[in-house]
Amino acid sequence: MKHSINVEDIKLYAYHGCMEEEGLIGGHYSVDVLIETDFSSAAEKDDLNQTVDYVWVNQIVKEEMAIRSKLIETVGQRIINRLKETATNSEFKVVIKKLRPPIDGDVTLVSIGIDSRD
């Protein structure tokens, strides 16, 4: 059976970007992690150890977002890699949104998405 666990709108302040100023000033980000898994056994036994713990997901996102990168694509791939290392029977999609990016124009956000099934 397929189930989903979604950890959405994880709000963070981080220092990603190609411009030197972004590494100094930082910016606001929002991260979504969408998980496809089978938590039938966890639900039946009421056992957290048999499902994907969203506290653990949040911690991985925070740790990887704290490591400065020029590209949010790089950060997204690191998050996917860490998730897949531990939860091998699940599939993940990570979306990173950079809010109010420093580009010329009225842009609310830019985002990337990485799906572990691809």
Comparison of pLDDT for 1 and 61, the residue scoring more: 61
DSSP state of 22: H
Q: Summarize pLDDT for 38-97 with one digit per residue, the tens.
A: 999 999 999 999 999 999 999 999 999 999 999 999 999 999 999 999 888 899 999 999
The 8-class DSSP code of residue 49 comes to G
Complete DSSP assignment for 71-96: -HHHHHHHHHHHHHHH-TT-EEEEEE
What average pLDDT does range 26-41 have in this prediction? 96
Question: pTM, whole model, 2 decimals?
Answer: 0.94
What is the pLDDT, as a whole number, of residue 104? 86
8 Å CB contact between 82 and 59: no
Distance between CA atoms of residues 73 and 60, nearest Å: 16
Structural domains present in the chain: 3-115 (3.30.1130.10)
Residue 21: CB partners within 8 Å, gap ≥ 6?
Answer: 102
pLDDT at 118: 66
